[in-house]
Chain A
């Protein structure tokens, strides 16, 4: 299935897009999503500290993805 993944801050600049559509299989996790995103966006290949969210709440890399969630990946935050 095709899943849109939202990117923010430096990741968005690296991809040149706010959203990337990736293909994942059944039983995929956020770690699988991240692997596909990095394959699509070579500039993110060496990123070591991605944070994930699922439906606007932080989620771990082993969180399952059904394809109906709002998924986002972003670097460590720096507000304030």
Chain B
């Protein structure tokens, strides 16, 4: 199955995601870039750090690609997530989905980031001046269906 699902230690390249999904039978490529924010609940965040269960994270990202193929009819999905320390404003996640038409590409791209936040085993640690906290999701996803 085509697609690119990677946990990356280092800067993410949008062009790598686009290259992985583009092709002559596709009329649309939708992309999403998640960047690190400099505030959380009114407190200034100095840097973010991401940690992952790497082999499971890549397997679950590939599973999301499978969901997209069955729901939106395209296997052309790239999901890249960075781990380690990420400077404010830098990309932490990049998603690209190519499809024959724009509607499927845009809907599939939105599905990918929502599902990533729900089920991919990655954790974010926010570094403030003199302290740091692990962020934890609102609801445990439970076993994937």
Q: Which residues of A does B touch, CB under 8 Å? A: 6, 8-10, 12-13, 49, 51, 53, 56-60, 72, 74-80
Contacts and interface: CB of A to CB of B under 8 A. Distances in A.
Contact of A53 (B56, B135, B138): B56
Contact of B143 (A60, A75, A78): A60
Interface of B: 34, 50-53, 55-57, 59, 81, 92-93, 113, 116-125, 134-144
A78 B53 contact: no
Given A53-B121, A77-B123, A60 B142 contact: yes
A75 to B, nearest CB: 5
B134 A8 contact: no
Contacts of B123: 8-10, 74-75, 77-79
A51 B140 contact: yes
Contacts of B57: 79
Nearest to B136: A76
A11 B142 CA distance: 18
Contacts of A79: 50, 52, 57, 81, 92-93, 116-117, 120-124
Q: Which of A13, A53, A56, A78 has the most CB of B within 10 A?
A: A78
